[in-house]
Amino acid sequence: MALKKSELYSSLWSSCDELRGGMDASQYKDYVLVMLFIKYVSDKYAGVPYAPITIPEGASFKDMVALKGKPDIGDQINKKIIAPLANANKLSDMPDFNDPGKLGSGSEIVERLTNLIAIFENKALDFSKNRAEGDDILGDAYEYLMRHFATESGKSKGQFYTPAEVSRIMAQIIGIHDAQTSNNTTVYLISHIVQPHG
């Protein structure tokens, strides 16, 4: 059964509610996006040989679930989940899940991270099939979050991400809109916001 976008969006925004307290949208979006990424790649690629993303043993979403309620949950997420994933896949700029300035300390950080993990544990959020109602589920989720983060922080969404419409136009301009794509086909779009003067 396909994952319903409405259910996905509702769960994603609930995860934002868990972090909203002491952070600006531009800060907590990183935690939600990393959680979404870990859940997605774990569902899709954990235990899959030659997958485009390596999920090291002990660094999947399932392993993150096992950390719920532990007094050192933030430190353990950093050491057992984030660091191995980042090292295996050459990822950088991962948020610190043990930052008391953003996530609180003591029971506050434990409760916040435990609740955040529980939201992504929802059985309805099964990313093992990449499509929801015929669309790219990770792309849809990312766009949904970027739109809401931009609105909440009072910025234009263009300051957070390249809108899908711009990407489609660029693909047509450079002639790849009908191309067969694979994991080896990558296009990087770098957008620059020009602010009018005067």
pLDDT in tens, 100-149: 988 888 999 999 899 889 888 877 777 776 554 455 666 777 777 777 66
Q: Residue 140: its pLDDT value, please?
A: 72
Number of domains in the chain: 1
Does any domain span residue 118?
Answer: yes
Q: Residue 70: its pLDDT value, please?
A: 97
pLDDT in tens, 37-47: 899 899 989 88
Does any domain span residue 198?
Answer: no
CA angle (112 as vertex; 156, 128 as ends), nearest 5: 75
Does any domain span residue 27?
Answer: yes
Q: Residue 193: its pLDDT value, please?
A: 41
Does any domain span residue 145?
Answer: yes
Does any domain span residue 106?
Answer: yes
Sign for the pseudo-dihedral over CA of 96, 101, 103, 107: positive
Q: Residue 32: its pLDDT value, please?
A: 81
**Closest alpha carbon to 16 in 134, 153, 160, 180:** 153
Average pLDDT, the chain: 76
Q: Residue 122: its pLDDT value, please?
A: 79
Does any domain span residue 190?
Answer: no
Q: Residue 196: its pLDDT value, please?
A: 43
Model confidence at 22, pLDDT cuts 50, 70, 90, reads low
Does any domain span residue 30?
Answer: yes
Task: Say which CATH number the domain at 46 has.
Answer: 1.20.1260.30
Q: Residue 3: its pLDDT value, please?
A: 60
**How many helices (H) does the chain have, and how many strands (E)?**
9, 2
Does any domain span residue 193?
Answer: no
Task: Say how far apart CA 54 and CA 45 lie, in whole Å.
Answer: 7
Domain containing 101 equals 5-156
- pLDDT of residue 26 exceeding 80, the answer is no
pLDDT in tens, 48-77: 888 989 999 999 999 999 999 999 999 999
pLDDT in tens, 144-166: 777 766 666 555 544 555 666 66
Q: Residue 184: its pLDDT value, please?
A: 55
